[in-house]
Structures are given as structure tokens and as C-alpha cells.
Amino acid sequence: MEFATGYASQQEWREKLYPLFEKVFGLDANLLADFYQRGFWDPTYTPVTFFEQGNAIANASFFVMPMMFDDKRIEVACIQSVMTDPAYRGQGLMKRLMTEMLKQIDATIQWTFLYTSSPELYEPVGFEVVPHHRWRTANPYPFQEKKAETGLKRLSIFSESDVAVIRACFDKQTAISHAFVPIDYRSSFFLNLYDPEWQQKLYYSRELDAVLVFEVIEETLHLYAVIGLEQPSFERIVGLIQEKIDQVELHFCPDLFEAKHIFTPLLIEKENKLMARGPHSLQERQLAWPLIAEF
């Protein structure tokens, strides 16, 4: 059995992970190859892996992401790609990998996050579930006159010109919260957009010079992300959308929206839970990691 880490930039070694992704998560190797070739792979992605006769049999990886957290910009670690070949489970391989990975992370980073449907596996090493929220308010501009032409354009990640627009918006991105939000999460963003359901929610506004991720369901606007230089007002966002809107639900912390709007926090039960490991507990906080930024 061979141990290796930090090899993601080496094609031959990186591609040895692909069969394990497919076996454990059902992720097509061709999708992963396309993801890398198009420049979506996070350059800080660090795999920690056991190999057996040249085949990856257990892996855990992390990448480093900037975020706004309690009015400060910090670097956090995000753990993903936690997977063991079914034939090698029950041998303690993941415990050994997790110990090594956390040692690497703890040397320079205070906060670590991961997503899991099995929180009990990570509680022994200091992770706690972060309750997930979203925030609802009545549409503050219900009688706003809709423009005949709003300049709102549907985007596709399979169009290189549209991808260039998305990248440009990330390059000049302003955080949509100062309380709790990842900033440059483009790698996770692009990976999530391979899901056809997210593809239907992706738009660019020429007026705002921003990417918007939203949908309207039963007259409720679900706003998942705003990616651009400025945080636009509710009035400008709602004015771009032709559908009738009675309520708005934000899927990120609302602290930077106008103080006059009253938001009702909603606690949401999710199967895949965000967990945090850091200097203090977040279990009593009303927070949300944007769904489109999940990793």
C-alpha cells in the first residue's frame, strides 16, 4: 500500500482518482476530465490518498477558500472527496487519512468545513453541525412596474463566452454577506452547474453587470447568489424579473441588504449537513452556506 498527497497537478496521478470517484459517487470520469481541462479545478485542491497496485483505494481531499466571517476576510479549509473503495472499508484507512489531512490543515488554518449525511463520523475529531437557514420577506416592491426589456440573459457553462462572463464576475466579486459567506467559490460553482437543475437558474444582468442565480416558485423569488462588483438593491433585482413576486427567500445571510427589510429566519433540515471545526461553536448561529457554493 502506498501513501501520496499533493499530486493533483500531475495528470497521471490525478486521473488515478477518477475510477474511485465513479465507484463511490457515480461521477463519470469524462466529466472530471472535462472539469479539469476547462480550468474549473481548484488549484489548491490537495488529495491525501492510499494506493494499492497503482489504484486509489481511499482518499480525502481539501482545498482552501476565502470567505467573509464575522466582518473579517479569512482563509478556510473545505474537505471533500472523502471516499473508500467498498472492498477496503473497515480497515481504518479513512481515519489515518483524516488524521494526516487535519494535521496539514491545522498548521495554517483555524476553520475547516465539510458536508456529510453522516455527522456522527466526524464529531469525534471536533466537527459540529452548522444549522442551515434561509430568510424570507415580503416583496418590498409589489407594485413595481416591470421593464419591457430587462437585459437578463440565460447563461450556459457549455458556452465558452458565457463561462468568460462568469469568470469576469467572480474576478471583481464583492461579498454578498459580511457575516458568513464564501467569496471566490468558482470551482464549486462550476461543478454544481453540471447539474441540469442549476443550469436553469443561471442568468447574467447587463444592467447590474452581475451573475444571478435564482428561480421563482409559486410567486416566491428564491435568490441563491449574486456575483458581481456591487451588492444590488432589492428593488433593482426584483425589477429585472418578469414573473409576479409576492415573497423573497434569500439562501444566504441577509446582513448587507437594506435595514428596512424585515427577514424571518427559517431553519431548514437538510440531509447533507454542513459541519465546522474551529475555535468556537456555530450551533446557535443563524447561518447559511449558499447552496450553489456547496462542495
pLDDT digits (tens, 9 = 90+) for 91-132: 999 999 999 999 999 999 999 999 999 999 999 999 999 999
pLDDT > 70 fraction of the chain, expressed in percent and rounded: 98
> For all residues of the chain together, what is the average pLDDT?
95
Give ∠ CA 187-188-194 in degrees, rounded to 5.
95
User: What is the per-residue pLDDT for 147?
Assistant: 66
Mark out the alpha helices in the chain (DSSP H runs): 11-14, 18-25, 29-37, 93-106, 160-171, 186-192, 196-199, 234-240
Q: List the domain boundaries for the chain.
A: 2-110, 134-268
Using an 8 Å Cβ cutoff, are 93 and 59 in contact? no
pLDDT of residue 109: 98
User: Which comes out higher in pLDDT, residue 233 or 187?
Assistant: 187
pLDDT over 80 at 144, yes or no: no
Beta partners for residue 63, in sequence order? 78
Task: Say whether pLDDT at 151 is over 90.
Answer: no
Do the beta carbons of residue 48 and residue 100 sit within 8 Å? yes
- Asked if 2-110 and 134-268 have one fold, the answer is yes
How confident is the model over 42-101, as pLDDT tens digits? 999 999 999 999 999 999 999 999 999 999 999 999 999 999 999 999 999 999 999 999
pLDDT of 149 above 90: no
Alpha-carbon gap, residue 52 to 29, rounded angstroms: 19
pLDDT at position 150 is 76
- pLDDT, residue 257, reads 86
Domain 134-268 is of which CATH architecture?
A: 3-Layer(aba) Sandwich (3.40)
- How far is residue 120's CA from residue 162's CA, in Å, rounded to a whole number? 41
pLDDT of 275 higher than 90: yes
Residue 86 phi, psi (nearest 5)? -50, -30
Assign domain 2-110 to its CATH superfamily. Answer: Gcn5-related N-acetyltransferase (GNAT) (3.40.630.30)
Whether 32 has a pLDDT exceeding 80, the answer reads yes
